[in-house]
């Protein structure tokens, strides 16, 4: 066994010789960003070995500069450890963005509350029972049931009691001197507690993203959100898109089991943290609603997602499911707590999109609304209360900061806003710390601004310094650097950036954005055709996604991500999926709505549309 | 580790030094009779140590004759093994009565079939599904559900599918080339299989007795009984009545868990043997009905029976329960197979009595019927379709052969019928082998016959040889032996009995029978009083119990176990509880009947009746 110490955390772990660093990191609970899925393509997961020798692989030689190699930089995905080592994990590649992400959510949640009424089916009742005697030999369960009947609680003659509760009853009611609180959900007793606990009644909503998992702990009586916690989906170690997860299931022994374990462990951490923060007992969590894309939905449930990936793209189940916590192995909630998954629409339009649409009012409005969720897949929903159409495009993870030279997620240190004039460049950094990279909204801004002053032309070319328009000052011009693979634009110089590396945009980065925005725009175009309307018929565009605080609507429109409509018709709605999950948690009626709505959506399979490719190519230019 | 070999089985086991013989026997699967629960009181569990030295305990000195000790006899409950040993387990104390018991049941079962119609809710449907394509992207589950809907199977819009089935679906339907059989029960899919298996649909009924556990495997389509297996309840090692089991739960760490495990292991063996004999796949067992006394019912379900034993005698639950195999830890049935327990009436009138009454027609008849179940507890039910009354008496295990000098269960080698005239004694032996002892029906016969010719007087005294009536010949007289503790009657001389010990009846044995029959008769009297009728108002007496092939009605009446009514009104109905379980298995309606009927029964708590003691004393004399 050898010892690895990770800095700056000072976390130690003993591992066998030859253990991959990625595995060791996973085991000590440090999440890092591996945009290419640890395949040695992107060169993003640079770590610094300060003690311990490591041979350089040919992949590392290609992706790390000579000077960095000399300093001790290696790629986490390539490195195996053969002796005691101390390894520094740069903040830049870390995914510890919990604090930022959740504080941001708080604001949104309060707005949702207004749009529907609480109508949980859950009832907690305090009972002060008669004690048994030779004249009253009712069984323990009859004693409880008769009292509930007297109090006219639920449909008593069909009231069910699971064996788990029956096992607890005899000792519990006697210790409690026959004063107990009974919890009833869907005509079944799901909890019995000593004394009066009628005020403790909680639920948790989970949004399981390919990259980020968020949990919202809610008081079911008041609808108040008590705490929210976001975690990186630990499956990211196997690759950053759903296809890589499905490959893992297919290729690895027990791959499905492993991925389910990983997601369940994360949910358990979220349960622990949210309940600790709120100071409540997790056994009082009675209801859970889960959303996620179809693949995450399947992995959470332990359903094999293998048939999602190849044509004709078939999920195991689309409809919503109601189950018990015990149906999910190792899920650390009371075994008979209720778990509800929102329905999926298709293999690539999942329960997260159903939640997202649910959180808007588009499913109940006359006007035509366009809903765009910008994730690794770009999902598009178009329509009104009469009918909805949906499609999914493989936009790629550019807007999440992956596959972009200086890209990063919308966390502390990311540039989320850029302004360029003829003479100057300014930007905003999340939490105003030293700059670490460029997140999705900053990337969109940057390209939009460069388009505006002609640094990028219609075809997407980053022009040469000498071809700039005459108004452009030297300050701007000198940021354009000519390189063999194409030009590069220096946004932040190396001396101003954390880690001493400049923040820049390459020609290749622009191409990535073009591919992403063209995919989404082409999807929108196909839906418009299917519905038989023109872009100007859209009365509202809703942009959803984990973009930090905002996305600049004008920039999004400028780069052609969405149709050119008046800005007042465009709205950024943040993490809509999570909001939808929370709404479904608080309202049984909204769960029914989600089921009906999901059935009404007509899914358009873009891969079977011969006109998609044409639209896609048309949409490539700016 | 030391080695023990058990004869005549030649079963070997390696155990640690000091292992109790009872434990070793349990581990090799040999069941022996320990009437006093291994407490060193009855001296019944005599074994012969043919190799290996064993010190004699003071208990053994008291209970085993000097000559036997010299030969190597010891008590299994007292012996621990400290060196390699060979131990002979006499047939007399063994409980291997499987073969006899089950062949006997076969006959009964066929009569039940006539009395109700099959109306199982279970449906198996073969589906030849369309294959998915880009034009038909329904999920796997939708594909199945839509087809069921087309075929108008069940209430499809509410059809549920458990996660266990969903997990199987994607791989199974593709391997089966989309030709599958779906099994639906209670509007839930409980099985999916490759190809057409619509003909394989089975259920199993369990009767869990304190002493004996029986399982009946049934074809749910035809109602045919395919096989039946009886096993000794392995809990018998902890004592032969329910009170000793409850004490075990209270005193032993994990006692409840252990007793549940023991019973579940036995059920698993029965499942294995019944399915092997019938040549069917146990995964095609979809429904199970369980009966047993209230304590066995609780132990099977893992419910703490502790409050059954002390006044005021409170069970955890009385009503019937429907659960899944997975709710019973380690039960080796498909995890989502349906388990149904018949309802209990009180702490000492259990689901076995409900099953027993269900198997008769007394709950739907105008005439007044008396139902008596002769077990360790004697349960009595009286009434008609208008109303039923029930009570339970602590009759003791005399009729099961326990606490009787030469007593044994109704298995091979037991005398089950006795005839005594003034000059001669004759008897019948089960399976006509060498005699081993006296079972319940033989004991009742013996006492009845001795009463008839005056060898026992009204007060129950076994008279002295010289006080016999003049007609009694020498052959009979010389069988009466005077001993310090009272007289003894030699039924079979030592040279004719297996093991060389005579079969006899002592004064003490007679007292045991008097206690048992008085308890039952007093219970009957209290019920008659409660109902406000006289014995002659009873139009039919049904005697139930595991008495082997029969009980002599006249003898039962002669000893005063039941009221003196014309013999044509008395009927022996065998193991009624098991029949009732089988009926409930085959008919959903009969399950409902059992629930309603159990609620209609008025339970009379004898311990709170001041007149019980009086009736009991009155009933002691013959």
pLDDT tens-digit series, residues B387-438? 999 999 988 778 877 789 999 888 889 999 999 999 999 999 988 899 999 9
CB B426 within 8 A of CB B419: yes
Q: Which of helix, strand or coil describes residue B286?
A: strand
CB contact under 8 Å between A316 and B605, yes or no, is: no
% of chain B at pLDDT higher than 90: 67
Helix B611-618 / helix B507-531 crossing angle, nearest 10 deg: 130
DSSP secondary-structure letter at A399? G
Nearest to B347 by CA among A272, A138, A304, A191: A138
CA distance A229 to chain B (A): 28
B141 contacts in A (CB within 8 Å)?
A: 316-319
DSSP element (H, E) containing B610: none
Cβ neighbors of B41 (< 8 A, separation 6 or more) are none
Cβ neighbors of A596 (< 8 A, separation 6 or more) are none
DSSP secondary-structure letter at B585? H
What is d(CA A5, CA B111) in angstroms, rounded to the nearest whole number?
77
Q: Which residue of A has its CA nearest to B161?
A: A321
pLDDT tens-digit series, residues A477-489? 999 999 988 999 9
> Over A195-233, what HEC string results?
CCCCCCCEEEEEEECCCEEEEEEEECCCCCEEEEEEEEC
CB A550 within 8 A of CB A441: yes
Highest mean pLDDT among A570-584, B316-330, B364-378: B316-330
A321 contacts in B (CB within 8 Å)?
A: 163, 166
pLDDT surpasses 90 at A463: yes
For residue B68, what pLDDT is reported? 85
A166 contacts in B (CB within 8 Å)?
A: 301, 303, 316-317, 321
Q: Which residue of A has its CA nearest to B141?
A: A317
Residues belonging to chain B: 622
A170 contacts in B (CB within 8 Å)?
A: 303-304, 306-307, 314, 316
Identify which of A302, A311, A319 has the shortest CB distance to residue B134. A311
* A497 phi and psi angles, rounded to 5 deg: -105, 145
Instruction: Give the pLDDT band of residue A549 (cuts 50, 70, 90).
Output: low
CA distance A314 to chain B (A): 5
Q: Which residue of A has its CA nearest to B609?
A: A134
Chain A: residues touching B (Cβ < 8 Å): 132-142, 161-163, 166-167, 169-171, 174, 301-304, 306-307, 311-319, 321, 323, 327, 344, 346-347, 603, 605, 607-608
CB A402 within 8 A of CB A35: yes
pLDDT tens-digit series, residues B488-544? 999 999 988 888 889 999 999 999 999 999 999 999 999 999 999 999 999 999 999
What is d(CA A327, CA B44) in angstroms, rounded to the nearest whole number?
49
CA distance B166 to chain A (A): 7
pLDDT tens-digit series, residues A276-317? 999 999 999 999 999 999 999 999 999 999 999 999 999 999
CB contact under 8 Å between B307 and A140, yes or no, is: yes
Instruction: Give the pLDDT band of residue A110 (cuts 50, 70, 90).
Output: very low
What is d(CA B517, CA B543) in angstroms, rounded to the nearest whole number?
13
What is d(CA A560, CA B320) in angstroms, rounded to the nearest whole number?
65
% of chain A at pLDDT higher than 70: 94
B315 contacts in A (CB within 8 Å)?
A: 139-140
What is d(CA A417, CA A403) in angstroms, rounded to the nearest whole number?
19
Instruction: Give the pLDDT band of residue A568 (cuts 50, 70, 90).
Output: very high
DSSP string, B483-507: -TT--EEEEE-GGGBGGG--EEEEH
Q: Return the residue in B148, B189, B314 with the most chain A beta carbons within 10 A, the one to mutate for interface testing.
A: B314
Question: Position of tokens 């045919």?
Answer: B224
CB contact under 8 Å between A318 and B139, yes or no, is: yes
CA distance A454 to chain B (A): 43
Instruction: Give the pLDDT band of residue B108 (cuts 50, 70, 90).
Output: very low
3-state percent helix, strand, coil for chain A, nearest multiple of 5:
40, 25, 35
CB A78 within 8 A of CB A59: yes
pLDDT tens-digit series, residues A170-218? 999 999 999 999 999 989 999 999 999 999 999 999 999 988 899 999 9
Looking only at the bridges linking them, the beta strands covering A202-208 and A285-292 are parallel
Q: Which residue of A has its CA nearest to B168?
A: A303
pLDDT tens-digit series, residues B316-335? 999 999 999 999 999 999 99
- ipTM for the complex shown: 0.81
Mean pLDDT of the region B594-602: 93
Q: Give residue A315's region: left, alpha or beta (phi > 0; psi -120 to 50).
A: beta
For residue A102, what pLDDT is reported? 37
For residue B111, what pLDDT is reported? 46
For residue B39, what pLDDT is reported? 78
For residue B290, what pLDDT is reported? 98
CA A177, A178, A179 angle in degrees (round to 5)?
95
% of chain A at pLDDT higher than 90: 66
Q: For the sheet containing A601-603, what is the strand order?
A: A570-574, A540-544, A369-374, A378-383, A388-393, A601-603
For residue B117, what pLDDT is reported? 57
% of chain B at pLDDT higher than 70: 94
pLDDT surpasses 80 at A157: no
CA distance A479 to chain B (A): 49
For residue B323, what pLDDT is reported? 96
For residue A105, what pLDDT is reported? 37
pLDDT surpasses 80 at B101: no
Instruction: Give the pLDDT band of residue B33 (cuts 50, 70, 90).
Output: confident
What is d(CA B564, CA B556) in angstroms, rounded to the nearest whole number?
9
CB contact under 8 Å between A314 and B137, yes or no, is: yes
For residue A121, what pLDDT is reported? 80
What is d(CA B543, CA B554) in angstroms, rounded to the nearest whole number?
12
Mean pLDDT of the region A113-122: 62
For residue B116, what pLDDT is reported? 55
Identify which of B170, B316, B605 has the shortest CB distance to residue A306. B170
For residue B110, what pLDDT is reported? 42
Could you count the other beta carbons within 10 Å of the beta carbon of residue A58?
A: 9
Instruction: Give the pLDDT band of residue A119 (cuts 50, 70, 90).
Output: low
Mean pLDDT of the region A20-49: 81
CB contact under 8 Å between B166 and A133, yes or no, is: no
Looking only at the bridges linking them, the beta strands covering A488-492 and A480-481 are antiparallel
A303 contacts in B (CB within 8 Å)?
A: 163, 166-167, 170
Q: Which of helix, strand or coil describes residue B160?
A: strand
- Termini Cα distance of chain A: 56
What is d(CA A458, CA B407) in angstroms, rounded to the nearest whole number?
104
Cβ neighbors of A352 (< 8 A, separation 6 or more) are A207, A208, A209, A291, A292, A293, A296, A373, A577, A580
Question: Position of tokens 């310094």?
Answer: A465
Mean pLDDT of the region A544-566: 87
* A607 phi and psi angles, rounded to 5 deg: -65, -20
Cβ neighbors of A602 (< 8 A, separation 6 or more) are A387, A388, A389, A390, A530
A132 contacts in B (CB within 8 Å)?
A: 307, 312, 314
Helices (H), B385-506: 440-452, 474-477
Helix then strand count (H, E) for chain A reads 17, 28
Cβ neighbors of A311 (< 8 A, separation 6 or more) are A607, B134
CA distance B372 to chain A (A): 23
Mean pLDDT of the region B454-473: 94
What is d(CA B440, CA B543) in angstroms, rounded to the nearest whole number?
13
3-state percent helix, strand, coil for chain B, nearest multiple of 5:
40, 25, 35
CB contact under 8 Å between A134 and B608, yes or no, is: yes
Nearest to B501 by CA among B67, B86, B70: B67
- Answer whether the bond into residue A374 is a cis peptide, omega within 30°: no
pLDDT surpasses 50 at B100: no
Report residue A478 as tokens. Answer: 């000198």
CA distance B208 to chain A (A): 19
What is d(CA A361, CA A444) in angstroms, rounded to the nearest whole number?
27
DSSP secondary-structure letter at A33? -
Q: Which of A115-129, A566-580, B558-572 has the lowest mean pLDDT?
A: A115-129
Chain B: residues touching A (Cβ < 8 Å): 132-142, 161-163, 166-167, 169-171, 174, 301-304, 306-307, 311-319, 321, 323, 327, 344, 346-347, 603, 605, 607-608
A188 contacts in B (CB within 8 Å)?
A: none
| Structure-derived torsion over alpha carbons of residues B590, B595, B600, B605, reported in degrees to the nearest 10 | 120
Q: How many CB pairs under 8 A join A and B?
A: 127
Instruction: Give the pLDDT band of residue B99 (cuts 50, 70, 90).
Output: very low
pLDDT surpasses 80 at A605: yes
Mean pLDDT of the region A427-431: 91
Q: Return the residue in B300, B303, B320, B607 with the most chain A beta carbons within 10 A, the one to mutate for interface testing.
A: B303
Q: How far is CA B563 from CA A118, B378, B538, in A?
A: 66, 15, 9
CA distance A291 to chain B (A): 17
Q: Give residue B279's region: left, alpha or beta (phi > 0; psi -120 to 50).
A: left
Q: Return the residue in A139, A146, A344 with the most chain B beta carbons within 10 A, the one to mutate for interface testing.
A: A139
Q: Return the residue in B141, B163, B602 with the most chain A beta carbons within 10 A, the one to mutate for interface testing.
A: B163
CB contact under 8 Å between A314 and B167, yes or no, is: no
CB contact under 8 Å between A141 and B319, yes or no, is: yes
- Answer whether the bond into residue A464 is a cis peptide, omega within 30°: no
Mean pLDDT of the region A551-556: 91
CB contact under 8 Å between B140 and A603, yes or no, is: no
Please list the residues that pair with B503 across neighbouring strands.
Answer: B492
Instruction: Give the pLDDT band of residue B548 (cuts 50, 70, 90).
Output: low
What is d(CA B37, CA B19) in angstroms, rounded to the nearest whole number?
18
What is d(CA B262, CA A78) in angstroms, rounded to the nearest whole number?
53
CB B221 within 8 A of CB B201: yes
For residue B71, what pLDDT is reported? 85
Instruction: Give the pLDDT band of residue A95 (cuts 50, 70, 90).
Output: low
CA distance A384 to chain B (A): 23
- Burial class of residue B108, CB neighbours in 10 A (0-12, 13-18, 19+): middle
Q: Return the residue in B158, B249, B317 with the most chain A beta carbons within 10 A, the one to mutate for interface testing.
A: B317
What is d(CA B55, CA B77) in angstroms, rounded to the nearest whole number?
14
> Over A101-145, what HEC string results?
HHHHHHHHHHHHHHHCCCECCCEEEEEECCCCECCECCCHHHHHH
CA distance B584 to chain A (A): 20
B137 contacts in A (CB within 8 Å)?
A: 312-314, 346-347, 603, 605
For chain B, how big is the Rg over CA atoms in Å? 27
CB contact under 8 Å between A312 and B136, yes or no, is: yes
For residue B140, what pLDDT is reported? 98
Q: Which of A178-192, A394-408, A416-430, B24-38 has the lowest mean pLDDT?
A: B24-38
């Amino acid at each position: 066994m050898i010892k690895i110490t990770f800095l700056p955390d000072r976390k130690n772990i003993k591992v066998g010789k030859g253990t991959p660093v990625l595995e060791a990191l996973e085991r000590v609970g440090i999440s890092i960003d591996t945009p290419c899925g640890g395949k040695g393509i992107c060169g993003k997961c640079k770590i610094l070995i300060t003690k311990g020798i490591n041979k350089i692989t040919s992949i590392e030689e290609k992706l790390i500069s000579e000077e960095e190699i000399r300093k001790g930089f290696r790629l986490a995905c390539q490195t195996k450890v053969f002796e005691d080592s101390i390894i520094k994990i740069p903040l830049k590649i870390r995914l510890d963005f919990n604090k930022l992400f959740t504080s941001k959510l708080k604001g949104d949640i309060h707005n949702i509350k207004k749009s529907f009424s609480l109508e949980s089916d859950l009832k907690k009742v305090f009972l002060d029972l008669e004690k048994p005697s030779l004249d009253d030999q009712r069984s323990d369960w009859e004693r409880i049931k008769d009292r509930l009947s007297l109090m006219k609680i639920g449909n008593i003659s069909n009231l069910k009691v699971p064996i788990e509760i029956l096992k607890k009853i005899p000792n519990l009611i006697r210790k409690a001197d026959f004063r107990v609180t009974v919890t009833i959900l869907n005509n079944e007793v799901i909890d019995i507690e000593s004394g009066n606990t009628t005020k403790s009644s909680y639920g948790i909503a989970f949004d399981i993203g390919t990259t980020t998992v968020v949990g919202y702990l809610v008081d079911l009586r008041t609808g108040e959100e008590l705490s929210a916690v976001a975690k990186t989906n630990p499956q990211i170690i196997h690759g950053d898109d759903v296809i890589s997860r499905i490959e893992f299931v297919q290729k690895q022994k027990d791959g499905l089991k492993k991925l389910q374990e990983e997601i369940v462990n994360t949910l358990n951490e979220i349960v622990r943290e949210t309940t600790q923060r709120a100071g409540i007992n997790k056994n009082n969590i009675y209801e859970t609603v889960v959303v996620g894309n179809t693949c995450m939905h399947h992995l959470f449930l332990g359903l094999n997602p293998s048939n999602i990936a190849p044509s004709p793209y078939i999920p195991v189940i689309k409809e919503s499911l109601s189950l018990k916590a015990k149906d999910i192995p190792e899920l650390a909630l009371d075994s008979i707590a209720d778990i509800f998954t929102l329905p999926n629409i298709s293999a690539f339009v999942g329960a997260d999109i159903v939640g997202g649409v649910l959180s808007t009012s588009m499913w109940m409005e006359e006007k035509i609304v366009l809903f765009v969720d910008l994730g690794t897949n770009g999902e598009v929903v178009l329509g009104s209360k009469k009918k909805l159409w949906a499609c999914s495009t493989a936009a790629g993870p550019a807007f999440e900061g992956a596959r972009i030279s200086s890209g990063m997620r919308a966390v502390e240190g990311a540039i989320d806003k850029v302004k360029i004039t003829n003479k100057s460049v300014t930007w905003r950094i999340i939490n105003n710390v030293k700059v670490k990279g460029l997140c999705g909204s900053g990337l969109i801004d940057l390209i939009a601004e460069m388009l505006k002053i002609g640094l990028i032309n219609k075809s997407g070319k980053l022009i040469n310094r000498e071809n700039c328009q005459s108004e452009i000052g030297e300050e701007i011009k000198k940021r354009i650097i000519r390189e063999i693979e194409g030009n590069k634009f220096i946004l932040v110089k190396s001396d101003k950036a954390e880690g001493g590396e400049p923040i820049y945009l390459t020609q290749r980065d622009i191409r990535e954005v073009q591919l992403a925005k063209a995919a989404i725009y082409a999807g929108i175009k196909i839906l418009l055709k299917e519905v038989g309307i023109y872009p100007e018929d859209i009365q509202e565009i809703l942009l959803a996604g984990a973009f930090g605080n905002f996305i600049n609507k004008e920039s999004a429109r400028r780069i052609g991500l969405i149709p050119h409509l008046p800005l007042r018709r465009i709205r950024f709605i943040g993490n809509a999926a999570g909001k939808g999950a929370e709404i479904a948690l608080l309202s049984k009626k909204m769960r029914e709505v989600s089921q009906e709505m999901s059935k009404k959506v007509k899914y358009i399979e873009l891969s079977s549309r011969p006109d998609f490719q044409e639209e896609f190519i048309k949409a490539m230019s700016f």
